[in-house]
């Protein structure tokens, strides 16, 4: 009997499309961690004592290399599979926003700060004069999950949702989501590093609140790196995402997500089931490009149809902003510039007009949150008025003004 060629080709094609859709750095991390685990499996190396994050060895022998070797080694097939399947959706999204080089720098920064916090807490617990917890200094930790917890905090901070789903079983407030995950994983898997995950959460919050801004170079630095001759072989790869744009200040990325509860195991898709412990949300295929985390894979709107009326943009992304564009209380005409480069995306710049009279003031909590991100308070109030108090849309408006 003739085999089902269509079905076989369809599965192979879908797998190829899934892999090709993963950006350069994210797919590289998956390959590196997978190959390293395979080599360890074939050679029988399973102690990891020489490469794990071991506070006592770092303090006594100054083995700083453990900051970085620990994150690429994994102890079991389930360990590496779970971490990499969680990394793919989160890392792909951040890489499309920031660019490949910038995300590489952020990953190294998070690995460094996680390790330093881990070392500090372990040293304070192990050498304090009251009660010494020596086991924290001798704990051998490996795995990429510390970085993943930092990414979870960053995504949750600005996703705009009010609640998150934990394994599709129950919802928790978005602010408590990383801490609930920390507790759940500690209860389900007792051999995980509580301190490693905790330090990942602390680094994520530090980055979210701008404490690492002075450590983030401007876009010109990353553009210079990308234009270097030794980077040409990487830049030419189709999955490599350039860091373009120009605001020299560096903040956390924002997203054009609606305020909806994330779903966990809501479908029978095996991929979502394996990665559902990460924040999931519905998003359009083209979302806003942060000028402070520029990347060519995300757009604010799609190219305009030549036959469409002037000022009309993609309703899927900005329907709420453009549904009353003729009113002076809304937005002025948005312009879309399509670049010749196939990886350059259009960017819509919307000018915000004054707040309507008689409108109830935006909640102070939303205003303070945007002010803490570095925006001017007056501009924040106007943006919230134009966005109908939608925090995510207001951030997009503020960023388009600064672009």
118 given a catalytic annotation: no
Strands 348-349 and 170-173: unpaired
Distance CA 172, CA 165 (A): 6
Distance CA 163, CA 148 (A): 19
* Joined tokens for residue 63: 């083995």
Residue 173 phi/psi, 5-degree rounding, is -60, 145
Residues 6+ apart with CB under 8 A from 210: 251, 252, 372, 373, 374
Of 250, 243, 238, give the one whose Cα is nearest residue 226.
243
* Joined tokens for residue 341: 């480069």
92 given a catalytic annotation: no
The helix (H) or strand (E) run that includes residue 169 is none
Q: Which of 74, 79, 118, 197 is catalytic?
A: 197
Residue 98 phi/psi, 5-degree rounding, is -90, -35
Residues 6+ apart with CB under 8 A from 54: 63, 66, 138, 139, 140, 141
Distance CA 335, CA 376 (A): 24
How far lies 229's CA from each of 219, 322, 341, in Å?
18, 44, 20
DSSP state of 316: H
CB 288 within 8 A of CB 399: yes
With H, G, I as helix, E, B as strand and everything else as coil, classify residue 259.
Answer: coil
With H, G, I as helix, E, B as strand and everything else as coil, classify residue 292.
Answer: coil
Q: CA Rg, the chain, in Å?
A: 23
Q: Which of 92, 145, 193, 256 is catalytic?
A: 145
Distance CA 292, CA 289 (A): 9
Which residue numbers are catalytic? 145, 197
């Amino acid at each position: 009997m003739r085999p089902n060629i269509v079905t076989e080709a369809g599965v192979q094609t879908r797998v190829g499309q899934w892999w090709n859709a993963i950006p350069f750095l994210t797919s590289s991390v998956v390959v590196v961690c997978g190959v390293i685990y395979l080599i360890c499996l074939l050679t029988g190396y399973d102690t990891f004592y020489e490469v794990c994050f071991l506070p006592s060895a770092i303090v006594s022998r100054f083995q700083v290399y453990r900051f970085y070797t620990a994150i690429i080694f994994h102890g079991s097939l389930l360990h590496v599979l779970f971490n990499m399947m969680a990394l793919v959706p989160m890392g792909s999204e951040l890489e499309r926003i920031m660019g490949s080089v910038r995300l590489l720098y952020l990953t190294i920064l998070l690995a460094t700060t996680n390790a330093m916090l881990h070392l500090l807490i372990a040293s304070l617990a192990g050498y304090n004069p009251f009660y010494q917890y020596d086991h924290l200094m001798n704990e051998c930790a490996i795995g990429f999950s510390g970085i993943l917890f930092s990414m979870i905090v960053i995504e949750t901070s600005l996703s705009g949702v009010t609640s998150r789903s934990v394994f599709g079983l129950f919802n928790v407030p978005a602010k408590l989501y990383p801490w609930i995950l920390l507790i759940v994983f500690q209860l389900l898997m007792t051999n995980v590093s509580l301190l490693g995950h905790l330090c990942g959460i602390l680094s994520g919050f530090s980055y979210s609140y701008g404490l690492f801004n002075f450590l983030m170079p401007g876009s010109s630095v990353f553009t210079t790196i990308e234009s270097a001759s030794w980077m040409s072989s990487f830049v030419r790869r189709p999955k490599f995402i350039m860091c373009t744009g120009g605001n020299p200040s560096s903040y956390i990325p924002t997203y054009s997500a609606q305020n909806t509860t994330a779903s966990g195991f809501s479908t029978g898709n095996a991929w979502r089931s394996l990665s559902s412990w990460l924040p999931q949300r519905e998003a359009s295929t083209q979302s806003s490009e942060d000028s402070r985390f520029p990347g060519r894979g995300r757009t604010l709107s799609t190219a305009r149809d030549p036959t469409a009326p002037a000022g009309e943009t993609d309703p899927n992304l900005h329907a709420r902003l453009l549904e009353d564009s003729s009113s002076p209380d809304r937005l002025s005409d948005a312009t879309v510039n399509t670049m010749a480069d196939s990886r350059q995306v259009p960017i819509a710049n919307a000018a915000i007009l004054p707040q309507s009279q008689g409108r109830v003031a935006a909640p102070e909590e939303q205003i303070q949150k945007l002010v803490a991100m570095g925006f001017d308070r007056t501009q924040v109030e106007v943006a919230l008025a134009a966005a109908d108090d939608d925090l995510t849309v207001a951030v997009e408006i503020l960023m388009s003004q600064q672009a």
